[in-house]
Structure 1
Amino acid sequence: MRRWTVTLTLLTCFLWPVTASAADAQPVTIEILDESGEHLPARIYVQSLDDESWHYVRPAGDEGTAVRYEKQNWINKDSVEYHTTVSADPCVADLSEGRYRLTVERGKEYFPAIREFDVADESLKLRVPLKRMIDMAARGWYSGETHLHRTLDETRNIILAEDLNVAFPLSYWVTHAGQPPTSGNKNIGGEIPDRLITVDDTHVIWPRNTEYEIFTVGEKRHTLGALFLLNHRSVFDRGVPPWEPVIRQARSEGALFDMDKLDWPFSMMLPVTAEGSLYELANNHVWRTEFAFRNWNSATTPWLQPPWGARQGNEREWLHYTLGKYYTLLNTGMKMSPTAGTANGVHPVPAGFSRVYVHLPDGFSYEKWLAGLKAGRSFVTTGPMLFATVNTRDPGANFEFDAAGEAIDLRMEVVSQKPITFCELVHNGIPVRTYRVRGERMQNGGYRSLVSDRFSLHESGWIALRVWENHDDGRFRFAHSAPWYVTVAGEPVRPRRDEKQYLVRRMIDEIERSRDVLSDEALIEYERALDVYENLQTQDDSAKVRANARRPKSDEALAYWLDNMVRHHRFSIEEVHQATGMDHAAIESALERLGLNDVPLPEVATDHIRVLPYPGGRHPRSGFLDGAFRPQRESKVSVFLPWEGAGYVVVDTPEAIFTDLGLTYLAHAHVPTIWTDQGVALPPLEWVRNDDGSLEIERTLPNGIRFGSRVVPEEDSVAMDLWLQNGTKQPLTGMRVQTCVMLKGAIGFSDQSNHNKRLDSPFAAVHSEDGRRWIITAWEPNHRTWANPPVPCLHSDPTLPDCPPGETVHARGRVWFFEGDDIDGELERLRGSLERRVSRDE
């Protein structure tokens, strides 16, 4: 068995605190053991269950080491991280009488161990075995993180406790423009060697790494952002900006560049100036504790809904923003490998909570690990372990196909502590395939999920895999592979028009913001990046737009739909183009003529819920897009939430109708219907907009079945009536309907999780992040209630009574909104009103 021994000069003398000085404090000896009984290094939490105070441990003897970590976020005071990392030796907590909870963790490959215990008037000894979930080194995978703010002595202790194979402490840290790292204002101090520090055969530290994180230019507060220079040998004597001289010097020394977060104001200059940089897909705002940084430096891309091109959002929205910027850059043809970092030492997060695993099938060495990281033979994770090959090759591989449609074989294995919620195959930034595999329970208590798939690609670009593991407390863990790069028929990958516009706008805004602050030499770097983005060639999407767009047929229709799209749904010019087929110049001219540029959101109506036809052009789903190709807008209405700035839900009524004939209607392409099997295409329709604000739609199918929906906005709810008339000569039986409430556009309700859902037939409900606002739907007669996390959406699906020829049957539904704490009482009230309505109808 491995025995961890590390010599840390004076570490045991000054890094562990005495946590209980009262005379009645009792020593509680703690030993962390592996399954063979050998001692393990680990991270330890001790919390009083009486007063919720935190406590720390010290070494039990002279050989052990213990490093206390105590951080509370300055924005969210509930975001805390209070722990001790310990060596593979017994340790002691000095505790007063009371009840305590002990939590022990070690990186990602062991299950947490939790013990509750009582301290009385005598000493106590706790032996805590840690159970392995997986042995990544045995599979040839080795972990690291690229964003640490710890001393070298602390790092020696930490990488063993967290089982981080490679660490890059940012020993030099500068926050003032022009200041060189030789005199950095946040350097860790002490002697920083220019050689690898080997803690043991598979745990190493590269000590010379620099963070330039510029907040001040001269005497002016002017945030630029951060770039990490990793694995360099000299101590840089240059300040920034400009950046190119120090990047050139660092590159000559074999350094890698890590772009940290692309929400930094200056950051879109870096992919051009520091070509080939790494990017932290799992970054230092993703924590074990509560999320804190809800306000961001730069606006999100406008096609991310939520947060709607805003500068704030929740944890999942932050992650999608982080991924979205990476995807945008990959779509320009840039190749960049993912990495992960925590800023442990600054933020309330354990080292390695976000980490990157690199595949080294021939065994570990620092040089091979660095090369694998740069090449992208890797995945990042905050929890699940993601193993995947495409045509038997690791992530980072390049493929060239002579023609579109060649078969691609995917093999994926996910090992996780909890069942995964879903996995996605992402192609050029779009989740094109969804895999919902709960996995088999392993003997050790973990889960193993396997996916085998064969698919084809019709355009050049890249593919990657991402995995979501939702937890019962509403938090989540995720994993994301590095990309595989694919060239089809020699064609380059090209960004969408809105992606190019986003990059150009980011650079224009930053140049204007910095013109009177930065030097001419610094601004030249910005201008060079702008030139690269302005000269990007974009996708030709004309065929796709022609197939799906609906051009307004009159000036009156144009005015209505532009108002609907831009003022109510906050469409970008590109989204209007997708919906209408109009070119950008024509759209901009019409918006100017109609006074619709920069119009504010409509005020929330007080006498009725606002309901509008959904305009298309923006997919109403966040995920499971492979379950809804070419969504038809005539079945969908937008129901706007009765709270300021809260967005809308899209109600598909109906999404699908099933009869004894088969799938008789489907509001998108996904699976065959009785009509697609016959090669029959249903014509597009539009909602009829009535003077009272209600909407109506009616469709006649080729076999004579007629069906329709009526949607009526009321003061505090929306009433819906779905009817079907049997125009065939045979009775229709076994009829059921899918009606879907899609939550992508509802701010605060759009988590791809069932944690915020409540299913209590006939009610399907979802609550906001704070739990005080609810969206509720119900249909009668009811078939089932369910929810679909990847979409995300709610279903209260009705049945329709058997229908003789010539007869008409109905199902009735409603969407309600509730604000308050007593959701149980509200559902009981609504249940009573439904029963009274059914009684009246009978």
Structure 2
Amino acid sequence: MHHDPLLPPVVARALDDYRALLAEHGITWGEPPIGYVRMLSFLRFPDEAYQMSGDTDLDRAFRDAVSGREAPDGLTVLRLTSGGYILEARSCAVLSATPVAGVLLVDSARTTTATVTLDGTEHVIGSGGARLAEFTSDSDLRCDGEPVDLSVLTRAAVPARLRLKAGFPCRWSVTSTDGQGWWPDGVPHRRDYHGVPYFHGDDVTVAVPAEPLVVGVTRGMEYELAETQVVPSPWRETTVELTPSRVYDAAAKGWYGADLHVHLNWAGDVVAAPAEAAVMQHGEDLHVLNLVAGNVAGRRVYDQEALHHWAGRDLPWSDAGHVARMGVEYRNDLLGHVHAFGLAAPPSIYHTGFLDDADWPPNGAACGELRELQAVLGYAHPFHGPVATPGDVIGAAQRDCNARALVVDAALGLVDGVELLHFSEFSGTVEVYRRLLGAGNRLAALAGTDSMLSYTRQDTVSSPPGWERVYARLGGPLSAEAYAHAVRQGRTFATTGPWLELTAGGAEIGDTWCLAAGDEVEIVARSVGPEVERLEIVTADGVVAAGPGGELRTTLTITEPTYVVATASGGPHRRSLHRRVYAHTSPIYVDVAGRPVARVEDVRWCLDWLALLDQTVRSHARLDSPSQLADHLDLIEKAAQIYRARL
């Protein structure tokens, strides 16, 4: 029997299990209802979700966030009034009788209890209450036993077909003038952070209405967006040939971009197969893709079967310009998450601290095992807001995924880098990264989007893999081993889109330059990309030069050991699938008289962090024995000895 190389039987069976979970439980797949699991349904409408209060009744909180504004795309509102109901919906053009899926918000202004029945399931809505539910345009919806007319949800359109050709795999968007998206048959209806519909491929056919449409095509951050308007001929096929132009060519310079943190499946509204990752990687021209197995809130590790099948090997769609591997995300919500790329075999442990499991072994033990498996490691989405003090790192010791153990594992040499760019607000991560560098740690600047292919509309995670990348200078052909080696050497920069270069005299990113006090060195930063508004050159003492995008030069007189990094930044931009534009290099290290950088202020900052971490583990970690506590405290003390020695 012939098996699809992209779908070995063990992986196919796992995907069948996921489909059963989706069918039974919806978007959460039955995961334990901790905070971020309970928010999954609402994050399909990110602008409204982020306005929600901390109300324990999330349906009501979402209703309140939506009130007073136009309902977002994909949401239908059934308002219950004292005299009946009002249905607020946008009409979708349809080409066939296939039902259109959507989300229904029931919003009651009644002072009494109401009953809404959806496809046979009764929902009792209390006074002033609300309920969010999945439905389709042919659902049986009843209010107080009376059927609700859903015919307004759709309008019949005259069909046509578009054939789209670029000459190589790309990311396409086809949009009606009212924002309605169109996709090829059988393709998930994905939308990115900006709400733009998209799919991948070349020479693809899409059923569309014979109405004005906008067709766009791009190919990841190295290409510009090309757009055209078209009115397809009714009942016929119209060909659109459109090719995006390059902004820069990283591989031609010996640099290769990676997304080190992508999930194939992690709950969600669809089940994603490896073939979808293949199409997306090539359509984004993403050189390196790390698909990580990981848990959500319980003990199930999604895509573990794929990791066991392919560990240590390139995935079948890899070629000379694209490498894909199965990796892993080790997760502890109290101490932080770590992603691993290039591991030779599956680890023995994937997570701690979930479902009342002990927060043991320490993160450092898991990192140590992953390092023995040849993995290159980075702390994932370390911090989610501004950080000014070690107290901000620890916070209230909530299980919020903050990388509280990073200060330990960096000192002990157990991690190679830090996701400076991730899905969340990253100013605090950048601040902590520079404190760690200033305290004498060597860490690469990394990027991982946390894109999840099992979500079609979900804030940043439904954007395509590679919307942030970490570029590494390989000095030779692309391979997983060469890429991992470059990361370990710190020859990287992380970016939402701009190209960023940095040199200091003859030194390049990742180099260590040995100088004498009083030496002068010219530092040059260069950026490429229309979204860059500001370039900065930064040392351990702060910003030493700033200017607009393009090229920035300054001369630095060396007085003590330091490091040099460059950043590029800008406001919101259509080339950036994040809140703003940002790029940050790994350091060029400057040693003076044989001494590496170890600023007293930064070392003491890390020691204060360790002291607070010690208290946090004692007070908040779930541990089963004194010996488990001792294991944590032993690593904290070992790290403290290293920092004290740097004083």
Q: Same fold (TM over 0.5)?
A: yes
Mapped contact 1:29–1:125 kept (Cα < 8 A): yes
Identity of aligned residues (%): 20
The residue aligned with 1:326 is: 433
User: What are the superposed Cα offsets for residues 743-773 of structure 1, whole Å, 9 maximum, x if unpaired?
Assistant: xxxxxxxxxxxxxxxxxxxxxxxxxxxxxxx
Aligned residue for 1:375? 489
* 1:256 pairs with 2:256: no
Alignment of 1:520-559 (within 5 A): 520-531=626-637, 534-535=640-641, 536-537=643-644
Q: Where do 1:123-272 residues align within 5 Å? A: 123=236, 124-150=238-264, 151-170=273-292, 172-175=293-296, 184=301, 187=304, 189=306, 192-194=309-311, 195-197=313-315, 199-207=318-326, 209-215=327-333, 223-238=334-349, 240=352, 241-242=360-361, 243-263=363-383, 264-265=401-402, 266-268=404-406, 269-272=408-411
1:277 aligned residue: 416
Match of 1:101 in 2: 214
Counterpart in the other structure of 1:477: 581
TM-score by length of 2: 0.63
User: How far apart, in 2, do the equivalents of 1:120 and 1:483 lie?
Assistant: 56
Note closer, same or farther for the CA distance 1:260–1:472 as it changes in structure 2 (3 Å cut): closer
Task: Give the alignment of 1:378-417 within 5 angstroms.
Answer: 378-402=492-516, 404-417=517-530
What is the DSSP-based 3-state SS (H/G/I as helix, E as strand, rest coil) of the residue aligned with 1:328?
A: helix
The SS at the match of 1:55 is coil
In 2, Cα distance between equivalents of 1:390 and 1:19: 59
Whose radius of gyration is greater, 1 or 2? 1
**Equivalent residue, structure 1, for 2:173:** 45
2:500 paired with 1:362: no
1:236-283 C-alpha deviation (Å, 9 max, x unpaired):
233543044443332222111121022334433443466233211111
Summarize the Cα distance change of 1:275–1:246 in structure 2 as closer, same or farther, 3 Å threshold. closer
In the other structure, the counterpart of 1:348 is: 462
Does the C-alpha gap of structure 1 residues 213 and 362 become closer, same or farther in structure 2, counting only changes over 3 Å?
closer
The answer to whether the 8 Å contact 1:69/1:83 transfers is yes
What letter corresponds to residue 328 of structure 1 in structure 2?
R
Indicate conservation of the 8 Å contact 1:406/1:456, yes or no: yes
Instruction: Work out whether 1:456 is the aligned partner of 2:569.
Output: no
Does structure 1 retain, via aligned residues, the 8 Å contact 2:94–2:157?
no
CA 1:191–1:25 in structure 2 vs 1: closer, same or farther (change >3 Å)?
farther
* Paired residues of 2:409 and 2:415 also in contact (CA < 8 A): no
Deviation at 1:326, TM superposition (A): 0.7
Contact 1:19 1:93 in 2 (8 A): no
Amino acid at match of 1:56: W
Query: Using a 3 Å threshold, how does the CA distance of structure 1 residues 225 and 518 change in structure 2: closer, same or farther?
Result: farther
Aligned equivalents of 1:413, 1:71: Cα separation in 2:
32
Indicate the residue corresponding to 2:225 in structure 1: 112
Counterpart contact for 1:147–1:344, Cα < 8 Å: yes
What is the rounded CA distance, in whole Å, between the counterparts of 1:525 and 1:79 in structure 2?
Answer: 45
The 8 Å contact of residues 146 and 169 in structure 1, kept in 2 or not, is answered as yes
- Cα deviation for residue 20 of structure 1 reads 4.4
> Structure 2 CA distance, aligned partners of 1:338 and 1:69?
33
CA distance in 2, matches of 1:153, 1:267: 36
- Whether the aligned pair in 2 keeps the contact of 1:19 and 1:56 (CA below 8 Å) is no
**Secondary structure of 2:231's match?**
strand
- Letter in structure 2 aligned against 1:169: L
Q: Give the corresponding residue for 2:537.
A: 425
The change in CA–CA distance for 1:41 and 1:522 in structure 2 (over 3 A counts) is farther
CA distance in 2, matches of 1:118, 1:502: 64
Cα distance change, pair 352–502 in 1 and its aligned pair in 2 (3 A): farther
Specify the code of the residue in structure 1 equivalent to 2:309.
I
Q: 1:189 to 1:205 in 2, by over 3 A?
A: closer
When residues 466 and 276 of structure 1 are mapped into structure 2, their CA distance, relative to the original with a 3 A threshold, is same
**Aligned partner (choices 443, 460, 475) of residue 336 of structure 1:** 443
Structure 1 segments (4+ residues) deviating >6 Å: none
Decide whether the 8 Å contact of 2:545 with 2:554 is kept in 1. no
Q: 1:54 aligns with which of 158, 181, 187?
A: 181
- Residues 1:53 and 1:410: Cα distance change in structure 2 (over 3 Å): same
Q: Hey, what does 2:159 align to over in structure 1?
A: 26
CA contact (8 A) 2:308 2:346 kept: no
Instruction: Say whether the 8 Å CA contact 1:67–1:85 is kept in structure 2.
Output: no
Mean CA deviation greater in 451-460 or 264-273: 264-273
Distance change >3 Å, CA 244–CA 225, structure 1 → 2: closer
CA distance in structure 2 between the partners assigned to 1:341 and 1:105 by the alignment = 21
Structure 2 regions of 5+ residues with no counterpart? 20-92, 98-155, 265-272, 353-359, 384-400, 456-460
**1:533 offset after TM fit, Å?**
5.9
Q: Which residue identity is paired with 1:352?
A: G
Q: Which shifted more, 357-366 or 153-162? A: 357-366
Mapped contact 1:149–1:344 kept (Cα < 8 A)? yes
SS in 2 for 1:322: helix
Matches within 5 A, 1:737-756: none
Q: Per the alignment, in what secondary structure is the counterpart of residue 188 of structure 2?
A: strand
Q: Any conservation in 2 of the 1:226–1:260 contact (CA below 8 Å)?
A: yes
Task: Tell me the secondary structure at the aligned position of residue 92 of structure 1.
Answer: strand
What is the Cα deviation at residue 101 of structure 1? 2.5
Q: 1 CA distance for matches of 2:341 and 2:573?
A: 37
1:586-665 maps to which residues of 2 (within 5 A)?
A: none
Give the superposition deviation at 1:509.
4.7
Distance 1:97 1:154, change over 3 A: same
Question: 2:519–2:557: 8 Å Cα contact kept in structure 1?
Answer: yes
1:401 CA displacement:
1.8
Deviation at 1:118, TM superposition (A): 2.9
Matched, 1:507 2:627: no
Letter in 1 for 2:558: L
Aligned residue identity for 2:442: K
Aligned residue pairs, count:
453
Task: Tell me which amino acid in the other structure corresponds to 1:425.
Answer: I
Q: 1:248 to 1:320 in 2, by over 3 A?
A: closer
Aligned CA distance change for structure 1 residues 115 and 401 (closer, same or farther; 3 Å): same
1:804-819 superposed matches below 5 A: none
TM-superposed CA distance for 1:322, in Å, is 1.5
1:460–1:488 CA contact under 8 A, matched in 2:
yes
Provide the rounded CA distance (Å) in 1 between the counterparts of 2:624 and 2:560.
41
Using a 3 Å threshold, how does the CA distance of structure 1 residues 496 and 97 change in structure 2: closer, same or farther?
A: same
1:92 paired residue number? 205
- Rounded to whole Å, the distance in 2 between the matches of 1:519 and 1:46 is 58
